[in-house]
A and B are shown apart, each in its own frame.
Chain A
Amino acid sequence: MEQLQKTPLYPIYKQYGARVVDFAGWALPIQYEGIIPEHHAVREAAGLFDVSHMGEVEIKGRDSLSFLDYILTNQVSRLKNGQIQYAIMANQDGGTLDDVLVYRFSEHHYWVIVNAANRVKDINWMKQQTDRFDVQVRDISDQIAQLALQGPKAAEILKAAAGEAAEDIRFLRFVESLPINSISCLVSRTGYTGEDGFELYVQWDDAVQLWDFLMETGRKFGLKPAGLGCRDTLRFEACLPLYGNELDEDITPLEAGLGWTVKLEKPNFIGKAALKQQLRLGIRRKLAGFEMLERGIPRSGYEVRTGDRQIGRVTTGYFAPTLGRNLGLALLDAEHAQTGNTIDIMIRGKAVKAVIVQMPFYTKKYKK
């Protein structure tokens, strides 16, 4: 763990009994009490996650808006100040470089939240695209820590911690400076669990104090520290994609079921031609959800077959803690991806039957 990067909360993991693992070069808690109890805590009360490894990129300058509309597939120009948008950063082939959140402070000032594993790649890519734009791209990840407060009790906890002002933050909106126990926080109503909740961005050095205060305030609401293990099972049940599993440079947002983030009516953006062509020729691979009909847990990388023919692979699979079923996501040849279709998952050399089901597995509980 010595050589790994550490968030400002690293020193407090131990007191909560964390099991720390290497995640994209970061020493992060995979679990505290256990993945399943933490998963249930987030579904039924609330969980607090350290997600300070996430990257924050500041975009400033006169051409910020046209720059972002050029490098992202979604339409950033639809955002008003204080609003947030989910977007895909595609390459020329329409493949996914990263999936990001865009925060609009003003016409000339944005944050782009990127995946930790892609941070360096993303920054380099963004900087390479700035030629024709009056824009500054700055990596501020080392200054900004991030906590995610997620679950049906998150709003009550935030209100107890920050006062009435917390109630006014609506889904996919943020306030730039909400004082919590005199710590200035950027707070957005966002998350990656399928529950209502908030993400809190603070100065690196304030993170421990904010964590302690939220844990203390949240205790009587059932708030528990939650690790990356349950973050993954939670996002999986809600069918939120994970970069590296459901998305990568060879998977387009259209294939991943994220067509709603691709605004082909925009004048020009990176990947537009390729995505337009893919749509015209027909999307040949699709992300599908499936449920096991026979015993076995699907895992990322397992082959999917029909008869002797490979038709795709599993991108994520779990015993889903809230739903109590063995479920998976798979990238499949489109003709096999219809709901009700039966497929074989190759588990340790054996074909195990599964059926395509509707997504998401778990209905998101966002407070819109």
Chain B
Amino acid sequence: MRIPDGLYFSREHEWVKVEGGLARVGITDYAQDELGDVVYVELPEPESAFQAGDTFGVVESVKAASDLYAPVSGKVVDVNGEVADDPGQINEDAYGSWLIVLEMSDSSELDELLSPADYEKWCAEEG
């Protein structure tokens, strides 16, 4: 299971890459492995706004649908249409397959997220 440095992690298994005031969001390698083959992704419209913890989309494996939760609050400024068209990319490279980019409304919310080391512990507890 890969947990790269330089990213923030949510307890719902999303990763966040901070780029200035923007947060690029995807699901973690642990999440894709738990899900199995991803066959469908539903992403929000650009310009939609979410509070931290809101459901912003859905990722579906063969067996089940799982909600995606906004790790921080903000407005969607970019959506990865390529992943929506070819969801299997998430299984091949979870950290390369970003889903949305949020313009953060309150970057202090990043403090609530987990470091790579803490996220690794979190996964171990869940497993």
Contacts and interface: CB of A to CB of B under 8 A. Distances in A.
A297 B36 contact: no
The prevalent SS among residues of B at the interface is strand
Contacts of A321: 62
Contact of A36 (B42, B58, B62, B64): B62
Contact of B63 (A229, A296, A326): A229
A141 B39 CA distance: 37
21 contacts: A30-B63, A31-B36, A34-B36, A34-B37, A35-B36, A35-B61, A35-B62, A35-B63, A229-B36, A233-B62, A295-B40, A296-B40, A296-B42, A297-B39, A297-B60, A318-B62, A319-B39, A319-B40, A319-B60, A321-B62, A326-B40
Interface of B: 36-37, 39-40, 42, 58, 60-65
A43 interface: no
Contacts, number: 34
- Smallest CB-CB A-B distances: 4 pairs: A319-B39, A35-B62, A36-B37, A297-B40
Given A229-B62, A229-B63, A319-B62, A35 B40 contact: no
Contacts of B42: 295-296
Interface string A283-308: 00000000000011101000000000
Contacts of A233: 62
Given A35-B63, A319-B39, 16 more contacts: A30-B63, A35-B36, A35-B37, A35-B61, A35-B62, A36-B39, A229-B36, A229-B62, A229-B63, A295-B42, A299-B64, A299-B65, A318-B62, A319-B40, A319-B60, A326-B40
A297 B63 contact: no
Contacts of B36: 31, 34-35, 229
Given A35-B63, A229-B63, A348 B40 contact: no
Interface residues of A, number: 16
A233 B40 CA distance: 16
Interface in A347-362: 348
A297 B37 contact: no
Interface string A304-329: 00000000000000110100001000
Contacts of A299: 64-65
Contacts of B58: 348
A296 B84 CA distance: 11
B41 to A, nearest CB: 10
B89 to A, nearest CB: 14
Contacts of B37: 34-36
Q: Which of B58, B62, B65 has the most CB of A within 10 A?
A: B62
B82 to A, nearest CB: 15
Contacts of B65: 297, 299
